[in-house]
Amino acid sequence: MQFSELGLSAELLRAIGEQGYTTPTPVQQQAIPHILAGRDLEALAQTGTGKTAAFVLPILQRLTNPLTSPLQKVTHTAPRVLVLVPTRELAAQVLESVRLYGAHTGLRSLAVFGGVGINPQIQTMRRGIDILVATPGRLLDHLGQRTVDLSKVQTLVLDEADRMFDMGFIRDIRRIIERLPRERQNLMFSATFAAEVRELAHTVLKNPAMVEVARRNAPAELVSHSVIKVDQDKKRDLLLHLFAAHGWHQVLVFCRTKHGSDALAKKLEQAGVRTAALHGNKSQNARTRALADFKSGKLAALVATDIAARGLDIDSLPRVVNFELPNVPEDYIHRIGRTGRAGASGEALSLVSSDERIQLRDIERLLKREIETSIMPGFEPQHTHSVPRPAAGRPSAPKPAQARARTGAGNRSGAPRPAHSGTGGAKPASHHSGQRHR
Ligand code: AMP
């Protein structure tokens, strides 16, 4: 199928061509006709599937078509489209897409989110905008100050709805929805159809069309997973060793806390690894710069918390390192979803200390497989490091990784083994026969 078969206007087809896209992705093929027809939509699609263009393109089309948007000729200041997103980064990315795809439409757009001054947002809003992209908190600030008028909203988009729940935005969203006209088109995108997402869909969407697409990548298959067991207090040195030994670049490193991210980023920088930290305490400018530098390859490492990294549009990242495992196993999937895109292979390496064995077990259950574990000579864990067997009576659990806390046995020379295709050589003494999965 070609984009031209979707009934998009010449202005939009031109912008699509400028982006170098040749064919619509599955979510675009399925969603665009419904949205153009004015229907509500519930879409199960993750970042990386082309979901942003799937809603932005038909929205732009409807806004520029006098039949679907009779207000077009009137000079209006209030937005006709509201896109709610969970994070500042996603707001900036969606705005960028709106501006790229809408380059030849003359439509005006703005993103409002916290962490930057509110006054420039107010001034731009006063001059008039067609599409407003917003995080819930900042939009409520604007509503409280009466600096935004939502009475003209024709289309509401809830992007990454599951993330909005994770981040506790549901009440904010409901408060915002109360301020919208009752007659409107509603589009909801979510990576999962968790019960609460369904419930929101039920209350917000009217007779929605359903669209469900597989991930562009199936992370469990395309990404190779590995674990190095190491004591918590040796993780930083081990990570530095891995950077130095393998000349890694563009590694996304996950930490659990903002403080931990800062401390690790500092340590990496001091060791000569060009690094930035990305977390909720960083100013918007610092986040935008960090992300741009990381994408362009200027940075060797980006140390991020889960929330800061959500929804980041980073394609074909070669390697993700879990400096600490996430508490929620699903976050592991989100983390590694950034590698192995578009069929490229990716590496997910986790540095796991003895106190993280429960998280590791839960992740293996979710993946329905064991993750190959190893120990790096020179960084052998001193603490007992057993991965417990899953409780009896839980049939879905895979066999746990064997816990044989050997200390570099099999490689007594002490030298790391030659590069394993996996982590670029970070594969010394392998500790069970679990096959590698690509
Ligand atoms: P998204 O899922 O919206 O985060 O999009 C993921 C990436 O896919 C973005 O970098 C888009 O620029 C890109 N993209 C979107 N649609 C297409 C398409 N039809 N062909 C190629 N790339 C696309």
Q: Are residues 202 and 228 in the same domain?
A: no
Confidence of residue 228 (pLDDT cuts 50, 70, 90): very high
Nearest-CA residue for ligand 1 atom 16 is 50
Q: Are residues 189 and 233 in the same domain?
A: no
Domain for residue 331, yes or no?
yes
pLDDT at 169: 92
Mean local confidence (pLDDT), 63-69: 77
pLDDT digits (tens, 9 = 90+) for 167-215: 889 999 999 999 999 999 999 999 887 788 888 999 999 999 999 886 5
Q: Are residues 40 and 75 in the same domain?
A: yes
pLDDT at 330: 76
Ligand 1 pocket, residue 21 CB under 6 Å: yes
pLDDT at 315: 63
**Span of 203-207, 308-312, 383-387 with lowest mean pLDDT:** 383-387
Alpha-carbon Rg for the chain, nearest whole angstrom, is: 24
Is residue 148 within 8 A of residue 113, CB to CB? The reply is no
Whichever domain contains 160, its CATH number is 3.40.50.300
**Span of 120-129, 224-233, 244-253, 380-389 with lowest mean pLDDT:** 380-389
Domain for residue 297, yes or no?
yes
> Of 217, 219, 88, which is closest to residue 160 (Cα–Cα)?
88
Q: What is the mean pLDDT of the chain?
A: 82
pLDDT at 11: 94
Confidence of residue 94 (pLDDT cuts 50, 70, 90): very high
Q: Ligand 1 pocket: which of 159, 313, 314 to mutate (most atoms <8 Å of CB)?
A: 313
Ligand 1 pocket, residue 322 CB under 6 Å: no
- Model pTM? 0.59
**3 Cα: distance to centroid of ligand 1 (angstroms):** 13
Q: Are residues 56 and 196 in the same domain?
A: yes
70 pLDDT exceeds 70?
Answer: no
Q: Are residues 57 and 141 in the same domain?
A: yes
**185 Cα: distance to centroid of ligand 1 (angstroms):** 23
Q: Are residues 261 and 382 in the same domain?
A: yes
290 pLDDT exceeds 80?
Answer: yes
Q: How many domains does the chain have?
A: 2
Domain for residue 433, yes or no?
no
Do the bridges between strand 209-212 and strand 41-44 make them parallel or antiparallel, or are there none, so unpaired?
parallel
pLDDT digits (tens, 9 = 90+) for 400-429: 333 333 333 333 333 333 333 333 334 444
**115 Cα: distance to centroid of ligand 1 (angstroms):** 27
HSE of 196, CA atoms in CB hemisphere, 13 A: 12
**393 Cα: distance to centroid of ligand 1 (angstroms):** 43
371 pLDDT exceeds 90?
Answer: yes
Q: Are residues 113 and 162 in the same domain?
A: yes
Confidence of residue 76 (pLDDT cuts 50, 70, 90): low
Q: Are residues 304 and 370 in the same domain?
A: yes
Confidence of residue 22 (pLDDT cuts 50, 70, 90): confident
Q: Are residues 179 and 301 in the same domain?
A: no
Q: Which atom of ligand 1 is nearest to the CA of 93?
A: 4
**What b/e readout covers 405-423, taking b as 16+ CB neighbours within 10 angstroms?**
beebeebeeeebbeebebb
pLDDT digits (tens, 9 = 90+) for 126-165: 999 999 999 999 999 999 999 999 999 999 999 999 889 8
399 pLDDT exceeds 80?
Answer: no
DSSP per-residue string spanning 103-168: TTT---EEEE-TTS-SHHHHHHHHH--SEEEE-HHHHHHHHHTT----TT--EEEETTHHHHHHTT
Mean local confidence (pLDDT), 64-70: 72
Q: Are residues 73 and 199 in the same domain?
A: yes
Mean local confidence (pLDDT), 344-360: 90
Instruction: Identify the residue whose tokens are 């999937």.
Output: 333
Ligand 1 pocket, residue 48 CB under 6 Å: yes
Residue ranges making up the domain that contains 247: 223-403
Q: Are residues 254 and 182 in the same domain?
A: no
pLDDT at 41: 97
pLDDT at 214: 64
